[in-house]
Structure 1
Amino acid sequence: MTKDVTDTVMPRQARPASVTAQLSVLDRSLPLWIFLAMALGLGLGRLFPELATVIDAIQVGGVSLPIAVGLLWMMYPVLAKVKFEKLPAAASNGRLLVTSLVLNWVIGPALMFALAWLLLPDHPAYRTGVIIVGLARCIAMVLIWNMLACGNNEYAAVLVALNSVFQIVMFTVLGYVYLSLVPGWLGGEATVLDISMWQIAKNVLIFLGIPLVAGFLSRLILGHAKGTEWYDTQFIPRLGPTAIIGLLFTIVVMFSLKGDVILSLPLDVLRIAAPLLLYFGIMFFVAFGISYLLGFPYAETATLSFTAASNNFELAIAVAVGVFGIASGEALAAVVGPLVEVPVLIGLVYVSLWLGRVFYGRKGTGPAVPDAAA
């Protein structure tokens, strides 16, 4: 008999009778709150056009400070939940690591390249921006999607770290392959992606390194001072919900920054959104199917699926703006990336939970079972 997926979250005898009854209003209606955050961001950008200029001007070392605050706020609670003592065991799972690398660095970029050329043959600038989104692999929001889908937090932390290291090395290499080499073979115009490894490493160190170290120190210091039981049963349940607030804050900031563009160029945004929408969906289902066929448990399958389908939008935007300029079509396409990714991935959280019930016999009723269980 297939093991109930919620058994990997908490023992059956300790599981609450009603999971949804324990969820906060924010957790139960997360898709609604996300769409309201999008609408609020668009409204603020429309009502106060100067707001985007003010927010965009608040930068430190070329990194948008408001977006950085939102992302760090969002990632810290998730990484603070990680049981770091389990990371060596997670990192020793060679099959899972290799599967993730193939999905992220072979299948993902190739799929995005194919979709961009298929659906944007007459818009080389938009096509280039979409391809850049495909080259920037998961690092931030994937931890939220993984948590909501009852994925394995420890494996997610390992895979994000692994892909971040590969990102430093492979981003410029794949940028040359998919923006210069292959387009030349297809008779298109070659694009030179002039970006240093340090620029990529800086992005990784900020958006993964800071919350990772903060989460590790929190568990080390507070767990030692108050005890791991207090940390897991008292501190984390109070800290965890703030990750969703950080996510909503980030969404409001992103949509307020580009609300004018979205509303003034709706057809262009739809053209850009088409390959992105297909990409996120296809990558998720391909990863889920491969993971299931390889015999991974639900938690690991969910983690592989969301790390494969997610992207590092901050890096993609930074590269597009830095190389092509803030007003370029490449920058617009990179900005549309997270605007499509957020609603699609939250939808895929529910798809993942449904697939878990169908293929793994999961009987959980809500997307935030781990939080409720805690």
Structure 2
Amino acid sequence: MTTPPSTPDTTEQKAIGIFERYLSVWVLICIVLGVAIGKYLPVVPQTLSKFEYAHVSFPIAILIWLMIYPMMLKIDFACITDCFKHPKGLSVTLLTNWFIKPFTMYLFALLFFTVVFRNFISPELGKEYLAGAILLGAAPCTAMVFVWSHLTKGNPGYTLLQVAINDLIILVAFVPIVTLLLGISDISIPYDTLFLSVLLFVVIPFLAGFLTRRHYIRKNGQIRFEKEFLPKFKHITVAAL
């Protein structure tokens, strides 16, 4: 009988930092600040909108790169070969992420933005919110999975395996699922926006993390990569988030 793969450095239980512990508080503060800036300092979103292409904001893309790139560095895609040794947990994850979550997210968003809140928001704004929920629901979370796994004392090696496989599936499944749900909702989003979003937010950080990890480990070894290189990005990720 085998056990899910693990890595020596990630199996050590470390104390949750203040950022992770109060993540909900920071998210609430950022939401309030974002709404306040949009309302009282409209020049900020107006300036940011000048740096867009196909409705994709490049300043936001840069911040997302800084957040996702360190996470991609942690993923050992070589562990994907172990996926068939432990299929049950992986099957549940894939079923939930790709066959349940996108559609339940869509149904809940449709219920609230077109029925529950229809007296509070315009139909046009409701469609915009619905489109945002579809985009969000079709993309499985990756970065915070490591924190959740730690909080529940999960197996970090198996977490890496599942994140790696989901990141690969995003490359081929995200656009078709989003296109299907947007089409059902009669919402039009240009294909160049969808493909550019996948390229900027998934493909580029994916390749950058994979190539950086492989090059550094070949040159300096696994131990130095985990003990010296990875810790340098911890605060960068927090700042970008």
Normalising by structure 1, report the TM-score. Answer: 0.51
- Offset from partner CA, 1:78-124 (integer Å, 9 cap, x none): 01011122133237765555544543444334323433444333464
- Select 2:180's aligned residue among 173, 176, 197: 173
Distance 2:196 2:55 in 1: 10
Confirm or deny that 1:160 pairs with 2:175.
no
Opposite residue 100 of structure 2, the aligned amino acid is I
Distance 2:225 2:199 in 1: 26
- Select 2:221's aligned residue among 208, 217, 227: 227
Structure-1 residue corresponding to 2:201: 207
Give yes or no for contact 2:38–2:45 (8 Å, CA) kept in 1: yes
Opposite residue 145 of structure 2, the aligned amino acid is N
**Closer/same/farther in 2, CA of residues 143 and 240 from structure 1, 3 Å limit:** farther
- Select 1:195's aligned residue among 187, 190, 193: 190
| Structure 2, unaligned runs of 5 or more | 150-155
Distance 2:210 2:34 in 1: 33
Distance 1:41 1:199 in 2: 23
Confirm or deny that 1:86 pairs with 2:79.
yes
Opposite residue 167 of structure 1, the aligned amino acid is F
Where in structure 1 do 4 or more consecutive aligned residues deviate above 6 Å? none
Confirm or deny that 1:128 pairs with 2:127.
yes
Q: How far 1:226 moved relative to its partner? A: 1.3
Confirm or deny that 1:148 pairs with 2:147.
yes
Give yes or no for contact 1:172–1:195 (8 Å, CA) kept in 2: no
More displaced 10-residue stretch of structure 1: 114-123 or 82-91 = 114-123
Q: How far 1:147 moved relative to its partner? A: 1.7
Distance 2:221 2:98 in 1: 40
**Closer/same/farther in 2, CA of residues 162 and 27 from structure 1, 3 Å limit:** same
Give yes or no for contact 1:78–1:240 (8 Å, CA) kept in 2: no
**Closer/same/farther in 2, CA of residues 146 and 109 from structure 1, 3 Å limit:** closer
- Select 2:24's aligned residue among 28, 31, 42: 31
Structure-2 residue corresponding to 1:236: 230
Give yes or no for contact 1:109–1:134 (8 Å, CA) kept in 2: no
Q: How far 1:173 moved relative to its partner? A: 2.7
Distance 1:116 1:38 in 2: 19
Q: How far 1:72 moved relative to its partner? A: 0.6
| Structure 1, unaligned runs of 5 or more | 180-190, 248-374
Opposite residue 131 of structure 2, the aligned amino acid is I
Distance 1:37 1:130 in 2: 19
Give yes or no for contact 1:143–1:156 (8 Å, CA) kept in 2: yes
1:1-374 alignment, distance < 5 Å: 15=12, 19-20=14-15, 24-90=17-83, 95=88, 98-119=91-112, 120-121=114-115, 122=118, 124-136=123-135, 137-138=138-139, 142-150=141-149, 152-176=159-183, 178-179=184-185, 191=186, 193=188, 195-196=190-191, 198-247=192-241
Distance 1:226 1:107 in 2: 42
Give percent identity, aligned residues only: 20
Secondary structure, counterpart of 1:193 in structure 2: coil
Give yes or no for contact 1:112–1:130 (8 Å, CA) kept in 2: no
Q: What is the root-mean-square deviation of aligned Cα atoms in Å?
A: 3.3
**Closer/same/farther in 2, CA of residues 105 and 155 from structure 1, 3 Å limit:** closer
Distance 1:46 1:194 in 2: 26
Q: How far 1:24 moved relative to its partner? A: 4.8
Normalising by structure 2, report the TM-score. Answer: 0.75
Q: How far 1:155 moved relative to its partner? A: 1.4
Distance 1:32 1:175 in 2: 32
Q: How far 1:211 moved relative to its partner? A: 0.8
Q: How far 1:215 moved relative to its partner? A: 0.8
- Offset from partner CA, 1:241-279 (integer Å, 9 cap, x none): 3212211xxxxxxxxxxxxxxxxxxxxxxxxxxxxxxxx
Structure-2 residue corresponding to 1:370: none
Distance 1:93 1:206 in 2: 32
Distance 2:132 2:219 in 1: 43
Q: How far 1:74 moved relative to its partner? A: 0.2
